[in-house]
Structure formats: structure tokens, C-alpha cells
């Protein structure tokens, strides 16, 4: 989860997880250009980084890169960019946010190569050279999505450099819908699994209902990142006790779902399957499955964010396409059999979510950030199907920071669920590395 630095203590007090501070352009002299530090706001930048790291929080800095040479490959241009980025990396910055900007921006080195993709490559390579043993994490604009509007698929090379942000959106319901659609469609049309929003919209101030619905989607996004422009705010506690409670519950749930999310990220790396998986990737024969306002989160959770304003009691309704098989409403426990389209009504604290029959959802205990997450004890929520069959899942683990996974230094735990008549068998291999808690969710009307 990503937030702004001044909210750290309040986030801790509210028991809301936080992994990354985002510092927009005000960290620098003049706010938008160059790499000189604004010492009025950051009198000791190194100490700021060290203080965040001591709390297991990383720091992302925004960069509006202005060109200084006559062309993209000019020696003075490349040296200026490398020296500037490395000067902050050497002080302790963790992540660069390459903000292409729509006014002053990098030049493209050749026709056919977009400035967005060139910038992604440049920031990636400078970061990788500075920290060769770690993953060169950057964030950049989505090539083809402009201020929340998808105009075209991204350049094919863009998928090599996650993560991606959709631009300066607005706190309106249309932008929430577009945000869901962008996150889902980008994994199909552009091979980009980490497309994310300024949650809550960048401009204007959402009301409580819109804010909570944005954050519910954010909890089931590839990147949950709260961000906005000056003079407005996005902290949950600023929207009242109900918002703080609901948003906190969803972000804590996201943190517990880290094994499910990280395994989905591994699959995206391995075979390109999006983290937000549009349903027609699994059920291509059904026209309804192409709806980009719902998706699979991992293998076994069907998520359909609320994207329209509710009634006077803030109860919202929407249609949800239920795929083939059995799906359990995670709130009510009721089972739906697909394919079918159903109407779902949700009060403000709920968002439509269903678990697949035969699915296995993996969670860990609550934690305040990923560095403090304890994976020694894993809970497997097993949704028992009515019919006989076998389903197989995996849990992926590595150190989360280095590039050692490229040399095979990771672990896969295979899980197999078999139902045969009244018999049920769950197999784990290997199982010695974890303490397991298994919860069996039986079909409606079934007995143990």
C-alpha cells in the first residue's frame, strides 16, 4: 500500500498497513525540474530516508524530467539524467516515479519509440546499474492511457518495465469505472499487469461513498496507491470513522492476501496471465465474460467493484456475471451456479466478491507492511465443491527484493484438493516449511 509521508503516524494509529511513501515534485527546488533538494521541506534528506527505512517503509520520488541535451542520446543528456537519479538513490531513495509530464518531457531517440517507453528503459537501466542485486522498481505513465482515458494499447516493449499509472484523474464515478476497466483491459490488450490509479482521483474531493468505493477497488488492485493534488486529501480518517473503519478493513484484508497476490504476480511474470484476469481469458466462449468491470483476483476470487452511486442509504446494486461452476458469496455464504448473470446489492461496507468452488485462497496474519509479514503460518481457505474433481494450486515465495529468483532461488508449494464421493483430500508438497491452518467451507446444505 502506498501513501504520503505525513500520514505515517496516523496510519499506524489506525492500524492501516503502509509500504511506500510517495513524495511528489515538492521534494525539489522549484518543484518540477532538476535534482536539487528543497531544504526548506527536507533539511536532511538522507535522514528522512533512514527514518522511513527504520519503519520498514520505502520512499518513492516523482521526477518530471526536462531535456538538457539536443537529442535523447546526447552525452550531456544521459550524464545529467544518470547523475541526477543516482544522487537521490545514493542518499537512500528506493523508487523513481518517471512522470513523463504532458508539457516538458523527455525526447524520444527514434521514430516509433514512444517517449514513455524510452523513459521507462532509461530509469530502469540507471536504477539497475546503481543497485545490481535488487529489482529495479520504477513507476511510470501508461503509454496509451491519458488522464484515465485509454486511447490506444501500449507499445509492446512497455510491459518490461512495471509499474504503470494512468495519469491525473478526477474524483468522479466515471473515473472509477474507467480505472477498473483500465486495470482489467490493460492486462489483455497491452500485457501490462500492474496498471494502477490515483485512488480517489487526483483532482477534486470525493464524497464518502465514492471515496470508499475507490478504496475497495484499490484493495483488489495490483498496486493500492493513494494520491491526489494539493489542497485536497485522501487519508481514510479525514472522511470520518465509518470510512476509516471500512477502508482499514479492506487494506488489512489485502495485506493478509499477500500470498495470493504474490503468487498471482509470479504467474504474470511466468506466463503473462494478468493479476486482474478478465474472465474471457478462462471462459472465452461466453460473451459476458469480456466485461472489464469484473475480474478474477488470482485464481479463485471473483471481484466486481461497485462503480455507480447507491441509493439514499448508500446501498449500491450491479449485475455480476457468474462463471461456470459453483461460486460462494464471501459475505453471505450463499452459492451461485454459473454461467448466470445475477443482481447484487451491497451496503457501503461490502463489494461483490465470490470464491470459486474447488478454490484455495491463501492468507497470512495481519501486518503493517510487507517487510513485517510473517509467512511461517499460512491459512488455506478451501471452498469445497459439490461435485467430484481435482483442483491444483501453487504458493510462490522468494526473498521479495533481490534478483536471486532468476537463478532459481524461490520456492513453490503445490496444493491439491481432491473430492471423491464423501471423501476429501488436501495435499501439500512440500509442507515442512510452514505451519498450516486449513478452513473448509462446505457447499450450502452440506454437512461435515
Per-residue pLDDT, 1: 53
What pTM, to 2 d.p., does this model score? 0.95
Per-residue pLDDT, 2: 52
- Per-residue pLDDT band for 447 (boundaries 50, 70, 90) equals low
Distance CA 163, CA 96 (A): 11
Percent of the chain with pLDDT over 70: 97
- Per-residue pLDDT band for 7 (boundaries 50, 70, 90) equals low
Q: CB under 8 Å to 68, separation ≥6 — which residues? A: 76, 77, 80
Per-residue pLDDT, 101: 81
pLDDT at 6 > cutoff 70? no
Average pLDDT, the chain: 94
Q: How far is CA 160 from CA 154, 175, 200, 268, 277, in A?
A: 11, 26, 27, 12, 19
pLDDT at 264 > cutoff 80? yes
Angle at 301 between CA 2 and CA 147, to 5 degrees: 40
Is the distance from CB of 152 to CB of 140 less than 8 angstroms?
A: no
Identify the sign of the CA torsion 396, 397, 398, 400: positive
Per-residue pLDDT, 448: 57
Mean pLDDT of 251-258: 98
Q: How far is CA 155 from CA 115, 120, 150, 199, 290, in A?
A: 10, 12, 13, 25, 22
Mean pLDDT of 409-427: 95
Among 61-65, 86-90, 161-165, the least confident range: 161-165
Mean pLDDT of 390-418: 96
Among 236-250, 335-349, 429-443, the least confident range: 429-443
Per-residue pLDDT, 280: 98
Mean pLDDT of 163-182: 97
Q: How far is CA 214 from CA 18, 113, 227, 345, 393, in A?
A: 17, 33, 12, 17, 30
Of residues 156 and 439, more confidently modeled: 439
3-class state of residue 21 by DSSP: strand
- How many residues are given for the chain? 448
pLDDT at 105 > cutoff 90? no
Amino acid at each position: 500500500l502506498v501513501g504520503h509521508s505525513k500520514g505515517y503516524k496516523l496510519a499506524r494509529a489506525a492500524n492501516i498497513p503502509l509500504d511506500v511513501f510517495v513524495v511528489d515534485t515538492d521534494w525539489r527546488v522549484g518543484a518540477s525540474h532538476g535534482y536539487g533538494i528543497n531544504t526548506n521541506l527536507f533539511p536532511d534528506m538522507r535522514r528522512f530516508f533512514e527514518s522511513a527505512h527504520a519503519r520498514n517503509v520505502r520512499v518513492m520520488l516523482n521526477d518530471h524530467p526536462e531535456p538538457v541535451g539536443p537529442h535523447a542520446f546526447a552525452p550531456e543528456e544521459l550524464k545529467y539524467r544518470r547523475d541526477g537519479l543516482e544522487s537521490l538513490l545514493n542518499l537512500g531513495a528506493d523508487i523513481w516515479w518517471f512522470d513523463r509530464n504532458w508539457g516538458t518531457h523527455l525526447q524520444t531517440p527514434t521514430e516509433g519509440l514512444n517517449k514513455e517507453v524510452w523513459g521507462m528503459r532509461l530509469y530502469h537501466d540507471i536504477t539497475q546499474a546503481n543497485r545490481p542485486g535488487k529489482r529495479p522498481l520504477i513507476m511510470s505513465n501508461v503509454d496509451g492511457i491519458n488522464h484515465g482515458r485509454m486511447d490506444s494499447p501500449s507499445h509492446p516493449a512497455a510491459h518490461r518495465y512495471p509499474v504503470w499509472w494512468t495519469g491525473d484523474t478526477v474524483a468522479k464515478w466515471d473515473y472509477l469505472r474507467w480505472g477498473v476497466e483500465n486495470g482489467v483491459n490493460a492486462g489483455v490488450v497491452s500485457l501490462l499487469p500492474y496498471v494502477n490509479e490515483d485512488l480517489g482521483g487526483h483532482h477534486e474531493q470525493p464524497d464518502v461513498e465514492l471515496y470508499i468505493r475507490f478504496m475497495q477497488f484499490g484493495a483488489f488492485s495490483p498496486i493500492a496507491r493513494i494520491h491526489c493534488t494539493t489542497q485536497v486529501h485522501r487519508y481514510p480518517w479525514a472522511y470520518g470513522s465509518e470510512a476509516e473503519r471500512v477502508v482499514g478493513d479492506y487494506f488489512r484484508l489485502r495485506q493478509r492476501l499477500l500470498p495470493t497476490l504474490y503468487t498471482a504476480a509470479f504467474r504474470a511474470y511466468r506466463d503473462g496471465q494478468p493479476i486482474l484476469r478478465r474472465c474471457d481469458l478462462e471462459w472465452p466462449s461466453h460473451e459476458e465474460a469480456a466485461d472489464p468491470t469484473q475480474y478474477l483476483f488470482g485464481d479463485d476470487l471473483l471481484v466486481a467493484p461497485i462503480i455507480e452511486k447507491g441509493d439514499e442509504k448508500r446501498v449500491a446494486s450491479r449485475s455480476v456475471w457468474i462463471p461456470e461452476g459453483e461460486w460462494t458469496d464471501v459475505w453471505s455464504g450463499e452459492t451461485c451456479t454459473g454461467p448466470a448473470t445475477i443482481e447484487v446489492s451491497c451496503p457501503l461496507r461490502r463489494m461483490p466478491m465470490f470464491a470459486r468452488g474447488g478454490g484455495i485462497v491463501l492468507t497470512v496474519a495481519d501486518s503493517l507492511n510487507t517487510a513485517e509479514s510473517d509467512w511461517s503460518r499460512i491459512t488455506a481457505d478451501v471452498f469445497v465443491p459439490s461435485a467430484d474433481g481435482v483442483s491444483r494450486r501453487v504458493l510462490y515465495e522468494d526473498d521479495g527484493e533481490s534478483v536471486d529468483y532468476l537463478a532459481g532461488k524461490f520456492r513453490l508449494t503445490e496444493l491439491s484438493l481432491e473430492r471423491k464421493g464423501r471423501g476429501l483430500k488436501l495435499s501439500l508438497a512440500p509442507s515442512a516449511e510452514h505451519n498450516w491452518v486449513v478452513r473448509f467451507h462446505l457447499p450450502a446444505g452440506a454437512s461435515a
